């Protein structure tokens, strides 16, 4: 899973799988869910993310994997 923030557009994309999306559905204003060909959720696109989310804090709790930090 990857979280990508784009400050120039104030959008956050949460990438759940490295599969291409074939369908997108806007579930509320500025929040789009992306699905693969099998109907599985592969990503979430959030416009105006800084107004909708607390972006300065991220807590990962008991995830069964390694955590990589990449900063710009």
Helix, strand, or coil here: 56? coil
pLDDT in tens, 18-72: 899 999 999 999 999 999 999 999 999 999 999 999 888 877 777 777 766 766 5
- Residues near 42 by beta carbon (within 8 Å), at least 6 away in sequence: 15, 16, 17, 19, 20, 21, 34, 35, 36
Q: For residue range 5-28, what is the model confidence (pLDDT) as tens digits?
A: 999 999 999 999 989 999 999 999
Distance CA 46, CA 31 (A): 5
Task: Give the global pTM.
Answer: 0.83
């Amino acid at each position: 899973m990857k979280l990508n923030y784009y400050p120039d557009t104030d959008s956050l994309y949460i990438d759940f799988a490295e599969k291409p999306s074939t369908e997108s559905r806007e579930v509320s204003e500025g929040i789009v869910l992306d699905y693969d060909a099998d109907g599985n959720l592969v990503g979430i696109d959030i416009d105006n993310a800084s107004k909708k989310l607390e972006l300065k804090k991220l807590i990962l709790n008991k995830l069964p994997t390694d955590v990589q930090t990449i900063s710009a």
